[in-house]
Structure formats: structure tokens, C-alpha cells
């Protein structure tokens, strides 16, 4: 079984599918096309995009000859085993429905999963009913450092969580869902949210200050910053046994352990920090590898469609909280509410 090679196709030939590879500062495997070409068990056989010029550029860059502007035609002629959905979230449901009906074996979908809970839940049901793995590219779940932090929290190495604060930019849907997913990865599901209406950055996909309260009995304070000034993605965790701060968009982590205070004998303090670092050069390659192993029944998905539903619901609940100017419990009833991702 391990000798099996999988034919892969991509729908949507934009940044995460292809164009990020042109950025010299982004190192390693940073696009779906690179991931399929570098994984030893996948072959990128086809791509689809409505923009003929973009499609042609994709084919030239990745030496892919089978290029289509019609999605169903690509699936019918190429019969790919694996599919990456790299289009706007408003199109995800229709594409996944077609792919599931036409026999794709595994799907790697970009985030957010869809633009509403109704559409996203339908996607999950379709794939579950047909036993098709649906994975979502919340990339930090596929990163070794973030997995290590989760293990530290699960083992109780930080002790009882006292406080969580986080900073983010570039919208509730665009970057916020990355943050909500990572917080869920570390701490489990959210019980309720409250958005602060006094500060709203942006229009179609606003960034807002907010408070998330987890079912485990503690909360996280979220502060929105203006992406026009600089990029920021940071989580600061205080536990009874120490502190951990994840910074630089998740590339660096610092950990402080509790030690005796050097001046006040009746108190303890946080000792010198220990730094950890990572890069994102293999996240997408790890995602493709996870998809293959899930298809073969070897492992559980690191980020399933079911998991991605939770971060989408947090984002939509924050929209609802802004609209109603009140706390919103999860799950919430407005399944048709939609978001607009940048």
C-alpha cells in the first residue's frame, strides 16, 4: 500500500495554490502545488481556474499540461485521487459536492471551510456519508512546534490555566479563524463569545477586540491590531506552573517556569525564559502527508472538517455578537449567517 502513488489536482490557482512560491522570503513548501510535487507519493496531474491567464501561468510554473476552466470536465477526464480546494470560501460547498459525487478519495480545503455554518455542515455531511476524508488547511496544526505546545498543555506542564491573551490582524475570517482554530487545538471548544463594538478595524472582514470563554472554565482576551502597521499573531498563556508565549506569527515560543523569588522568600516568580523556534516550510507538505495517511486509515486527521466547523462558528458568533451587542452562546441558532473573507 505504501508504494501507491496518488494523482492530485487543484482547483483555484491563486496565492496559496501557487503564487506564494514566487515570494523569495517564503521558504520551503508554501503552496499546494509545491506540496504535491515534492511529496514522494503524489503526482500533480491537473489544475482548474476560471481565469485563463492565471491558469496558463500555473501550468507554465509547475509544468502541468492538463489545465481546465471547467471543474467537472477536469474531474471526469483526469480522475484525481486527491483534490485541493483553493478558491473563495463561498464556492467550497459546490466544489466539494461535485468532487464527492465524482469519486475523489480525499480533499484538502482552504480555510474558512465555508461562508456559513449551513454550508460548512453540509460539506462535512457529504464527505462523512461518502467516507471521503475532508481536511482543512489550518496550517499550524500541521507544525511540530504547535503540536509540542498542545502536548505540554495536555500533560499539565503549564498547570491550571489562569489567563490567555492573544493579538491578531487582518480580519475575523481571514486571520481570526487561524487564531480560533489554534486556541481550540490548545484548549478545546468555546462556550460563548463577546465582541467589543467600540473598536472595529476594517469593513467586509472586520478585526474586533473580543473575549472567548472556553468550556474548560477560563477565557481568552483577543486584541485586534491594524495590519497596515505590521503583522501580528501572538498568544500568551499564564498557567499555575509557568508561562508560555507564542509570537512572530507562531514561529517562536518562549517558556518560563516557576522558581523561588530571589528577593522575597515568601513568593515565587517566573525564571529565565527558554526559547523554541520553528518554520512553516513543511506545514503544507505535512498536510498532504496527513491526508494520504487518513485516506489509508492509518491516522486521524490533524484538522478535519468537523474541527474547522468550530473556528467558523466562533467567527460567525462574533459577527452575531457585534450585531446584537451582546454575548453569544455556542452553538448559536443563526446557521444562515455568512461571513466575508478577504
Helices (H), the chain: 32-38, 52-62, 71-78, 92-101, 117-129, 144-154, 177-187, 283-295, 305-324
- Together in a domain, 87 and 236: no
What lies within 8 Å, CB to CB, of 32 at 6+ separation is 10, 16, 17, 18, 84, 86, 108, 284, 288
- Together in a domain, 295 and 245: no
Tally of CB atoms within 10 A around 251: 15
- Together in a domain, 54 and 172: no
Domain range for 188 is 144-278+311-329
200 in the Ramachandran plot: left (φ > 0), alpha (ψ -120 to 50) or beta? beta
- Together in a domain, 115 and 179: no
Helix, strand, coil percentages, rounded to 5, for the chain? 35, 25, 35
* Overall domain count for the chain: 2
- Together in a domain, 121 and 57: yes
Over its length of 342 residues, how does the chain's per-residue pLDDT go in tens digits?
456 899 999 999 999 999 999 988 888 999 999 999 999 999 999 999 999 999 999 999 999 999 999 999 999 999 999 999 999 999 999 999 999 999 999 999 999 999 999 999 999 999 999 999 999 999 999 999 999 999 999 999 999 999 999 999 999 999 999 999 999 999 999 999 999 988 888 888 899 999 999 999 999 999 999 999 999 999 999 999 999 999 998 899 999 998 989 899 989 888 988 898 898 889 999 999 999 999 999 999 999 999 999 999 999 999 999 999 999 999 988 888 998 643
- Together in a domain, 320 and 174: yes
pTM: 0.94
- Together in a domain, 129 and 197: no
* Residue 340 falls inside a structural domain: no
- Together in a domain, 97 and 232: no
- Together in a domain, 87 and 165: no
- Together in a domain, 184 and 325: yes
- Together in a domain, 197 and 105: no
Q: What is the CATH number of the domain that holds 57?
A: 3.40.50.720
Instruction: Report whether 252 contacts 275 (CB < 8 A).
Output: yes
Q: How far is CA 67 from the centre of its chain?
A: 27
Amino acid at each position: 500500500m505504501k508504494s501507491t502513488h496518488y494523482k492530485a489536482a487543484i482547483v483555484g490557482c491563486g496565492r496559496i495554490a501557487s503564487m506564494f512560491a514566487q515570494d523569495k522570503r517564503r521558504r520551503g513548501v508554501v503552496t499546494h502545488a509545491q506540496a504535491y510535487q515534492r511529496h514522494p507519493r503524489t503526482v500533480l496531474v491537473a489544475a482548474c481556474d476560471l481565469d485563463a491567464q492565471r491558469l496558463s501561468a500555473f501550468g507554465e510554473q509547475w509544468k502541468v499540461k492538463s489545465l481546465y476552466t471547467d471543474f467537472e470536465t477536469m474531474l471526469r477526464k483526469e480522475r484525481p485521487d486527491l483534490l485541493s480546494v483553493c478558491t473563495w470560501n463561498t464556492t467550497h460547498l459546490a466544489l466539494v459536492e461535485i468532487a464527492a459525487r465524482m469519486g475523489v478519495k480525499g480533499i484538502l480545503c482552504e480555510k474558512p471551510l465555508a461562508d456559513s455554518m449551513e454550508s460548512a455542515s453540509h460539506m462535512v455531511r457529504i464527505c462523512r456519508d461518502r467516507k471521503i476524508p475532508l481536511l482543512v488547511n489550518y496550517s499550524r496544526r500541521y507544525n511540530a512546534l504547535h503540536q509540542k505546545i498542545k502536548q505540554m498543555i495536555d500533560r499539565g506542564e503549564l498547570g491550571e490555566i489562569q489567563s490567555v491573551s492573544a493579538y491578531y490582524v487582518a480580519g475575523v475570517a481571514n486571520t481570526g479563524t487561524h487564531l480560533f482554530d489554534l486556541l481550540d487545538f490548545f484548549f478545546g471548544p468555546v462556550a460563548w463569545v463577546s465582541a467589543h463594538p467600540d473598536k472595529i478595524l476594517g469593513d467586509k472582514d472586520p478585526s474586533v477586540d473580543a473575549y472567548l470563554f472556553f468550556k474548560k472554565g477560563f477565557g481568552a482576551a483577543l486584541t485586534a491590531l491594524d495590519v497596515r502597521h505590521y503583522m501580528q499573531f501572538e498568544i500568551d498563556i499564564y498557567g499555575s506552573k509557568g508561562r508560555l508565549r507564542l509570537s512572530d506569527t507562531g514561529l517562536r515560543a518562549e517558556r518560563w517556569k516557576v522558581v523561588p523569588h530571589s528577593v522575597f522568600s515568601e513568593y515565587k516568580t517566573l525564571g529565565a525564559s527558554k526559547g523554541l523556534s520553528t518554520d512553516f516550510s513543511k506545514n503544507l507538505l505535512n498536510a498532504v502527508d496527513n491526508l494520504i495517511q487518513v485516506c489509508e486509515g492509518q491516522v486521524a486527521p490533524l484538522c478535519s472538517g468537523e474541527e474547522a466547523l468550530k473556528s467558523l462558528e466562533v467567527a460567525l458568533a462574533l459577527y452575531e455578537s457585534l450585531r446584537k451587542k451582546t454575548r453569544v452562546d455556542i452553538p448559536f441558532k443563526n446557521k444562515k449567517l455568512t461571513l466575508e473573507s478577504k
